[in-house]
Chain A
Amino acid sequence: MTAWAWAALCLVGTVLLGTLGDLVHDEIRGWLDLVPHAVLRLAASRLNVSQRGTIYEDEWLPELCYVLRGSESRPITRLIRGITFAAGLLIAARRIAREISRDTPSLPSHDLPVLPVLPALLQSVSAPIARDRIPARITSFDAFYDFYYPKLTLFLKSNDSGSSLAEDIAQDAMIAACERWDELLNYERPDAWLFKVAIRKLRRAQAGAKERSKQELLANADQQSSVTVHESADTRLYLAAALKALPTRQAKVISLRFLSCYTVAETAQILGLTEAAVSAIQRRGLEVLRQQLGPLHNE
């Protein structure tokens, strides 16, 4: 074979190999592009059938196409971004489906925790109830927040020994209310929902602190004395001891009536009782407290 023949053969071989390399490159590139789409389809299969049209076809798929086109000049970057995007949705698909199809939350009716201390009650028993007027209908979350946040915080402080915990729980409950504000607007009493959510959160927080001793509770109660800073430590201890004798239901009613300034009707609605029952429980609770706090009250 002559040198010219070898050269021609090498040239043809080079061209063929180059073409074959391009074909393989395109084939691999095409297959790699399919990987994020395949992962995204897998994520879509975790959605409800009724949600696939709106979530997968209208949102996820166009976004993935944008991700893949946006970095088309860099195949590895494109592949990594596409797979990361689709894999995240694969993991979160069920959560997203739940969020979209979630209905109005149904709140379990928990009892209020036993009040460890209620120092502000001493003034309320003798003084007329200074109750802020509740607006007839609150339509904006801002107004709802401004009006109920101080009441909720005061209520939680009176039911828990840590004032910082009370503020945290009040914030969390307000955030939950904010997230569901559209639903709450349809409720007859969104503030009742708010208090129930806060009570539930408080119960959860308290469940982890059951082993606290009685002495620790009383010591922590001293820290929340911002409600009545003028009272002495002896007075607070005396009140705490008196309240321990109060039945839970009476403590709940009195706390809502005198600390949170709810009317009898509102308290009845929150606790699921009749107004007559609330009045009776309140009267009995106050009698017990007057007996317990009698010497102190007279000072």
Chain B
Amino acid sequence: MASVIKVFLEDLAQPRYGFELMRITGLPSGTLYPILAKFERAGWLTGGKEDIDARAEGRPPRRFYRITGDAVPAARVQLAALSERYRPPVTIRPQLSPRGGII
């Protein structure tokens, strides 16, 4: 979930499509789409339709997602909290210096 929301935070105005998100995050569709549905239900993401001429493109317009303004600060806080949670502990081990003593 964090990797998905991180993509949206990288460019707030950029609409993101399902297949594009799959390629960026490396998540399969079976994992990504439940996450998108969950975020949309929570009001973090909002959906829209691609503005294309379907006949000229030869395909129907895709659905895109954008992060909502209200979700941006909450998402940043959550990502920061997750980063803090999974940050490895810093351990400083004393090492012997070539001239003796400890560095």
Using C-beta atoms within 8 Å of the partner chain, give the interface range for chain B. 20 to 34
Interface string of A93-110 (1 = CB under 8 A from B): 001100110100000000
Task: Compute how far the CA of A97 lies from the CA of B73 in the bound complex, rounded to whole angstroms.
Answer: 28
Query: Do A145 and B34 touch (CB < 8 A)?
Result: no
Does A141 reach chain B (CB closer than 8 Å)? yes
Is A84 part of the contact surface with B, judged by Cβ < 8 Å?
Answer: yes
Q: Which chain B residue lies CB-closest to A164?
A: B85
Q: How large is the interface on A (under 10, 10 to 19, 20 to 34, 35 or more residues)?
A: 35 or more
B28 touches A62 (CB 8 A): no
Shortest beta-carbon distance from B19 to chain A in Å:
5
B38 within 8 A of A: yes
**CB neighbours of B18 from chain A (8 A):** 59, 63
Which residues of the partner chain B approach A63 to less than 8 Å between Cβ atoms? 17-19, 62-63
Label chain A's interface by main secondary structure: helix
Distance of A100 Cα from B43 Cα, bound (Å): 12
Complex Cα gap A66–B50 (Å): 12
Q: Distance (Å) between the CB of A197 and the closest chain B CB?
A: 15
Does residue B99 face the partner (Cβ distance < 8 Å to A)? no
Which one of A89, A90, A181 contacts B74 once the chains associate, using CB atoms below 8 Å?
A181
Q: Is A88 an interface residue (CB 8 A)?
A: yes
Q: Which residues of A contact B73 (CB under 8 A)?
A: 140-142
Interface centre among B33, B38, B44 (most CB of A within 10 A): B33
CB pair B74 A66 closer than 8 Å: no
A85 adjacent to B29 (CB under 8 Å):
yes
In the complex, per-residue mask of B21-62: 1 if CB is within 8 Å of any chain A CB, else 0: 010000011111110011101111000011000000011111
- A66 near B42 with CB under 8 A, answer no
Give the distance in Å from the alpha carbon of A213 to the alpha carbon of B38 in the complex.
40
Instruction: Find out whether the CB atom of A100 lies under 8 angstroms from the CB atom of B41.
Output: yes
Most interface-central of A63, A85, A89 (chain B CB within 10 A): A63
Interface centre among A95, A102, A168, A179 (most CB of B within 10 A): A179
Are B63 and A92 in contact, CB atoms less than 8 angstroms apart?
A: no
Asked if A171 CB lies within 8 Å of chain B CBs, one says: yes
Determine if B59 and A95 form an interchain contact, defined as CB atoms under 8 angstroms apart. Answer: no
What chain B residues lie within 8 Å of A95 (beta carbons)? 30, 34
Please, which residue of chain A has its CB at the minimum distance from the CB of B62? A62
Contacting residues of chain B (47-103) with chain A, CB-CB under 8 angstroms: 49-50, 58-63, 70, 73-74, 77-78, 81-82, 85
Instruction: List chain A residues, Cβ under 8 A from B28.
Output: 84, 88
Q: In the complex, A181→B34 CA distance in Å?
A: 18
Contacts of A140 in B (CB 8 A): 70, 73-74
CB <8 Å contact, A171 and B85: yes
CB of A91 within 8 Å of the partner chain:
yes
Give complex CA distance A161, B42 in Å. Answer: 33
Question: CA of A125 to CA of B78 in the docked complex: distance in angstroms?
Answer: 36
Quick one: closest A residue to B74, CB to CB? A141
- How far does the alpha carbon of A95 sit from the alpha carbon of B41 in the complex, in Å? 13
Q: A69-B58, A88-B32, A141-B77 are known contacts; what are 9 more A-B pairs with Cβ within 8 Å?
A: A65-B60, A66-B19, A66-B59, A84-B29, A91-B30, A92-B30, A95-B34, A100-B37, A140-B74
Q: 8 A-B contacts, Cβ less than 8 Å apart? A: A59-B62, A62-B60, A65-B59, A66-B62, A102-B41, A140-B74, A141-B73, A171-B85
Q: B-side interface residues toward A, CB under 8 Å?
A: 17-19, 22, 28-34, 37-39, 41-44, 49-50, 58-63, 70, 73-74, 77-78, 81-82, 85
Interface residues of A (CB under 8 A from B): 58-59, 61-63, 65-67, 69-70, 84-92, 95-96, 99-100, 102, 140-142, 145, 167-168, 171, 174-175, 178-182
